[in-house]
Amino acid sequence: MKKPLLALLFAMGAVGTSALAACDSNDGPLEEAGEEMDEAADDVEDSVD
């Protein structure tokens, strides 16, 4: 009884990890622009302080 449950949990973990890894690498141009704006705002804030 424990082996099928363990195999199912392992499979779910592998699929979940793969899905998270795939989502992180596909930033679109608007996402990248937003990140650049955030970094620029942080730089301005740091220079004012």
Q: What is the DSSP string of 30-49?
A: HHHHHHHHHHHHHHHHHHH-
Q: Which residue has the higher pLDDT, 35 or 28?
A: 35
Average pLDDT over the chain, rounded to an integer: 76
> What is the rounded distance in angstroms from the CA atom of residue 13 to the CA atom of residue 19?
10
The helix or strand, by DSSP H or E, that contains position 5, with its residue range, turns out to be helix 2-24
Domain boundaries, the chain: 2-48
**Binning pLDDT at 50, 70 and 90, where does residue 45 land?**
confident
CB atoms within 10 A of CB 14: 10
> What is the rounded distance in angstroms from the CA atom of residue 29 to the CA atom of residue 21?
19
Whether the pTM exceeds 0.75: the reply is no
pLDDT of 3 higher than 70: yes
The pLDDT of 20-46, averaged and rounded, is 78
